[in-house]
Structure 1
Amino acid sequence: MQPQHDVIVIGGGFSGIGAAILLDKAGFSDYLVLEEGDGVGGAWHWNTYPGVAVDIPSFSYQFSFERSSRWTRVYAPGEELKGYAEHCVQKYGLRDRIRLNSAVTGTSYDDATAQWTVSTSQGDTLTARYLVNATGVLTKPKPPAIPGLESFAGETVHTARWDHDLDLRGKRVGVIGTGASAVQLIPAIAEEVEQLTVFQRTAIWCLPKPDAALSPTTRAILGRVPGAQLLTRFASQTYVELTFPLAAHFHHPLHLASSGERLGRKALRDQVHDPAVRAKLTPQYAVGCKRPSFHNSYLSTFNRDDVHLETDPIAEITPTGVRTEAGAEYPIDVLVLATGFKVFERDNMPGFPCVSRDVDLGEWWAVNRAQAYEGVSVPGFPNMFSILGPYGYNGSSYFNLIETQMAHIVRCLTEAGKRGATAIEVKQEANDRYFASMLARRPRQVFTEESCSVANSYYFDEHGDTPFRASPTLETMWRAGHFPFEDYDFAS
């Protein structure tokens, strides 16, 4: 039995797009990309709320082999990222190998045929020799578990499913959440609404954003002057490396995160006039425990008379508004849920049933803790590879993750071809060794700070683990090209 495709890629965001391009470059052209949405771009297809933008410099947030000189800002707005996704699909001829509106509803591996069977929301089943899970984690909205939410009689919208027909002018708007999406949304709508009430559970570190418009002249220089794009990318990559991979994973020996905290506290002093409001906006945990944000007008928005910050916990949503535990009543016309996404929940990693040898991957991770060799492969799940597997992402540019993990995957597929193998499976001892190495590096990470216990951070899974790869970016790149093939079993 021959499968219908050599490879099925699950997800049409940048992970799936990058996987497809790099499979083509390596000579693996018989693949199919399955995408749940009606367009490509992943997070940038789903997230279109006012103010949405990338939170690392655009010079890093792009493929190294497809550098753009068309960004209008150092931190590109969301619509430009969506446009970049469409550009990549068009330029690299991917359109006819992407199936939209095709959510994966289940996958299963058959040892006898060394194939994966994939079921979709279209009601069909597909087969492939190899499966590449290229789903991200910032796409599935996570509604809050607040009593009475369904009873609200006004309009309700989640930031990840924004309704562009929604008119906020002259409305009393309540925003639940102060995470990264809220930090961008709140300043963008504050001038439009009549009254804005922000319900904060946990304060977020909001750091100055080194953003600026890129003039036509600047863009022309980037596009035409030899070396200009490489120089800006190098500067951008260095900045990104210092602000997360090194600061988070080498927190204790290098003390880089303390610089971020000083910047955050200075921004609070400079931008928030009312000492009581400033105290409410000041996080009680170390920078890095929770995803920080970068914005230049979020904090100052709370100086407005028509913006109120409420930190008393919500008791319930009523048909007409929000009631807090202290009994305060807030009449609301529009309720905005800026409550983030499912991340390490067992129904999101993976976001579909994934069964091999009668074992479901989500359940296996729930029992054994989330783990994957180099963040790519899991023992007992042959011919399956992940872009964003546990301990794969080190917090650098997501594009660096895509290219690094695909270098690993392509090496496996190429070696299988050389050996005439139809099945590739990471060895248990190799996985155990890698997992142990990640845990051994944990004491130097910021996530071990005692204050992280009050951060309410999605970085932590149900076991209390933070499945980030505790490595500098250069190490992740080197490992992708040099991991020993002896760590895998190749079978015909």
Structure 2
Amino acid sequence: MDDILLYPAGAEVRNSRVLMCKLMNLDTSAFCLSNKLKLIIMADANGHLGGIIHCDVLVVGAGFGGVYAHYKLRKLGLNVKGFEAGSDLGGVWYWNRYPGARVDSEFPFYTLRIPEVYDTWTWSSRFPDHKELRQHFAHIDKVLDLKKDIQFNARVNSATWDQTEGKWTVKTEAGHIAKCKYLYLATGLLHRRHYPDFPGLKDFEGIVHHSGFWPEDLSVRGKRVALIGAGATAVQITQEVAKEADHLTVFMRRPSYCIAMKQRHITAEEQMHLKSYYPSMLEAGRYHSAAGFPVKRPDESFWDLTPEQRKAHWEESWARGGFNFPLTNYKECAIDEKANLEAYEFWASKVRPRMKNPVKRELMAPKEPPYYFGTKRAPLENDYYEMLDQDHVDIVQMEQTPIKTFNKTGVLMEDGTQRDYDIVILATGFDSFSGSLTQMGFKNKDGVDIKDIWSEEISSYLGMLIHGFPNAFMVYSPQAPTAFSNGPTILECQGDFVCDLIARAEAAGARTVEADKKAQDDWKNLIEYMCSTLLVRFTNSWWNGGNIYGKKTQMLTFPAGIDMYEKMCREKLDKWEGFIIELNKEKQKDHVKDSLTAVQNALPQTPVTVS
């Protein structure tokens, strides 16, 4: 018989991830079923977990984006509360616990520019793993005291606008209800897990897990493992599972062009020496770089240099490891096929000698590139190619040998081969950019769900506002530099913008602020124009939604970098260009006219009304 746990209304449940369940409203209780455990949370007579939460700003999400929002909005004197689907801080690092999970943004840049946090923290490696990142979030909470304002185990399933009240009503699957003037969506880029519709997968009697929902007690030692995927997550999993599994099969559509991570231990003494430079280093990453790291592309043209000079530059950047090689590549490699091919051939020259098996070598670093170099996410690796080269590791190229169906014991291939497994790992990625927003019942002021609005085409203003959604803001979002950026850096950039926008709106006596439709269309068209000469437009990946069957592909990342993006956003805000402002009618009558005139003078291109 399954165990049953009872929690009174309002109780804090910190165990939802371990239970591996999804809360659902059932009459006056929320009921959750996992493989071994049933959880019942007793609700009040209305089916709610306690009373309605009233606040100025509700922040959805508690990763770096949510943390920074709480930190900045508190400084404005606003009442800030939060909902988080997990049971702790961390965002993607709360969920990512698969073998080998670690960040590929290097120390000290993968942190927020909050001195009281980074001055009192010491990293252990150049690229911290998932455990250390959760410890870092615990440290952030210790310094900033964030958890007291956040409801955990609170996955949002409804967000609706009340035009009369001028407020958002936000509900969760667990029964929480909040009302707020401003809705701040820090729901993450890679959160909504993607499960391909493989025939017969439900018939498989072994263990199946998505990489984004990994049980910490699962062991692959001595097991036959199938890993589906070859992206960044799959690369990290391969490096660990290949060392323990009896047999590993990697199923892939196409190889990733992996870059050497060059991981190393960071001593406390080294960090103490560097900490005095952190402010200038982080400032350089924020304001003087495209991706959030203080590096830049060469000033020289690819064509003005000899092949020997180009190779010397590449050798130097490759030796530094991390993203130095792609981030300091020549700009011509992003637009010119010949230059791009030369960059690919340099990369292949680094990879091919590491694989002795000629068949595997050709699969992972083909003589003819399967897609343009740099047009798909490049994972970082330490010994990926050596692990793939092991005799107990197979590589199946699914375009050459497709999966016909799963069955009780494993996989039947189209060529009639049966492959049996104990464990299947789905490193099949995420519905990036839009997935988290389109699954939360987020509706505009006319009651239309964003899922329907974005079904044909994703559109936003500055990657932060959406026409028809007053007082709602999103970060780490589509049509911003998101996918090409260091996470904390772009989250700070957008967070500062949203907080300044709210502060200015409050000072002007605004009831609502939202994106103008024409400005939103112009922003989308600008991104399409910017990408029209880039080779990235020819490659389908999660960067353009091409990893999801049936999802319309479009360029979802602002390609000109954080520095250019912030400059453009700030120019729009300084002019109040592209915003629709509605003023409060509650202001004194003799002040309303003056306020309206003042705002109209200050915001010459902004439609202003008094409600």
TM superposition score normalised by structure 1: 0.91
Q: Secondary structure at the match of 2:532?
A: helix
Aligned: 1:482 with 2:571: yes
Q: Report the secondary structure of 1:129's partner residue.
A: strand
The one of 392, 400, 412 aligned to 1:306: 392
Which secondary structure does the structure 2 equivalent of 1:238 belong to? coil
CA distance in 2, matches of 1:294, 1:72: 18
Partner-residue secondary structure (3-state), 1:4:
strand
Structure 1 residue aligned with 2:169: 117
Q: Is the 8 A contact 2:188 2:436 kept in 1?
A: no
Instruction: Work out which of the residue numbers 291, 294, 299 in structure 2 matches 1:237.
Output: 294
Matches within 5 A, 1:354-369: 354-356=442-444, 357-367=446-456, 369=457
How many Å separate the matches in 1 of 2:223 and 2:99? Answer: 16
Offset at 1:338?
1.3
Match of 1:252 among 332, 335, 341: 335
RMSD: 2.6
Residue 24 (structure 1) aligned with residue 74 (structure 2): yes
Residue of structure 1 in register with 2:223 after alignment: 171
| Gap runs ≥5 in structure 2 | 1-51, 286-292, 297-322, 585-611
Quickly say closer, same or farther: Cα 1:248–1:98, change in 2 above 3 A.
Answer: farther
Residue 313 of structure 1, CA deviation: 1.6
Distance 2:282 2:522 in 1: 37
> Residue 387 of structure 1 contacts residue 405 of structure 1 at CA under 8 Å; is this kept in 2?
yes
CA displacement at 1:115 relative to structure 2: 0.7
Matched, 1:219 2:271: yes
Give the aligned partner of residue 594 of structure 2: none
Aligned to 1:287: 373
1:408 is aligned to 497
CA distance in 1, matches of 2:190, 2:544: 13
In structure 2, relative to structure 1, the CA distance for the partners of 1:205 and 1:284 (3 Å cut) is same
Bigger Rg over Cα: 2
1:247·1:257 contact (CA, 8 Å) conserved in 2? Answer: no
The letter of the residue matching 1:293 is: P
Answer yes or no: is the 8 Å Cα contact 1:407–1:481 preserved in 2. Answer: no
Tell me, in whole angstroms, the C-alpha distance in 2 between the residues paired with 1:242 and 1:190: 27
The structure whose RCO (Cα within 8 Å, separation 6+) is larger is 1
CA deviations over 1:379-416 (Å, ceiling 9, x no partner): 11111111033211341111111111112211221111
Q: Which residue among 348, 352, 355 is the counterpart of 1:265? A: 348
- Find out whether 1:56 has 2:108 as its counterpart: no
* Separation (CA, whole Å) in 2 of partners of 1:7 and 1:471: 31
State whether residues 481 and 560 of structure 2, in contact with CA within 8 Å, keep that contact through their aligned partners in structure 1. no
Alpha-carbon spacing, 1:318–1:254, altered in 2? closer, same or farther (3 Å): closer
Is the CA contact 2:65–2:495 (under 8 Å) kept in the aligned structure 1? no
Does the aligned pair in 2 maintain the 1:49–1:185 contact within 8 Å?
Answer: yes
Which residue of the partner structure matches residue 426 of structure 1? 515
Whole-Å separation in 2 of the counterparts to 1:248 and 1:161: 38
> Post-superposition shift, 1:12?
1.1
| Kept in 2: contact 1:169–1:193 (CA 8 A) | yes
Counterpart position of 1:324: 413
Q: Distance in 2 between matches of 1:245 and 1:352?
A: 39
Distance of 2:360 and 2:382 partners within structure 1: 17
Question: Comparing 373-382 with 388-397, which one deviates more in the overlay?
Answer: 388-397
Distance 1:437 1:252 in 2: 17
Q: Is the 8 A contact 1:70 1:219 kept in 2?
A: yes
Aligned to 1:417: 506
Residue number in structure 2 paired with 1:384: 472
SS in 1 for 2:443: strand
Return 258-267 or 149-158, whichever deviates more. Answer: 258-267
Label 1:87 to 1:263 Cα distance change in 2 as closer, same or farther (>3 A): farther
Offset of residue 247 of structure 1: 7.2
Aligned to 1:459: 544
Change (3 A) 1:249 1:480: farther
Give the % identical residues.
Answer: 25
Between the aligned partners of 1:201 and 1:424, the Cα distance in structure 2 is: 44
**1:141-195 Cα distance to aligned partner (Å, 9 max, x none):** 2122111111111112221111122122211111111111110011112121111
- Amino acid of the structure 2 residue aligned with 1:21: Y
Q: In the alignment, residue 234 of structure 2 is paired with which amino acid?
A: A
Supply the AA of the counterpart residue of 1:90: K
CA contact 1:202–1:456 (8 Å) conserved in 2: no
Structure 2 residue identity aligned to 1:488: F
Secondary structure at 2:158 match in 1: strand
For residues 389 and 371 of structure 1, what CA distance do their matches in structure 2 show? 11
Task: Flag the 1:247–1:138 CA change in 2: closer, same or farther, 3 A.
Answer: farther
- 1:100 maps to 152
One-letter amino acid of the structure 2 residue matched with residue 273 of structure 1: K
SS of the aligned residue for 2:187 comes to coil
Structure 1 residues 198 and 443: CA distance shift in structure 2, 3 A: same
> Is the contact made by 1:183 and 1:298 (CA closer than 8 Å) also made in structure 2?
yes
Q: Work out whether residues 433 and 478 of structure 2, in 8 Å CA contact, stay in contact via their aligned partners in 1.
A: no
Which sections of structure 1, spanning at least 5 residues, go unmatched?
none
Per the alignment, do residues 80 and 250 of structure 1 end up closer, same or farther by CA in structure 2, a change over 3 Å counting? same
* Amino acid in the other structure paired with 1:333: D
| Count of residues in correspondence between the two structures | 482
Tell me the amino acid that sits aligned with residue 188 of structure 1: E
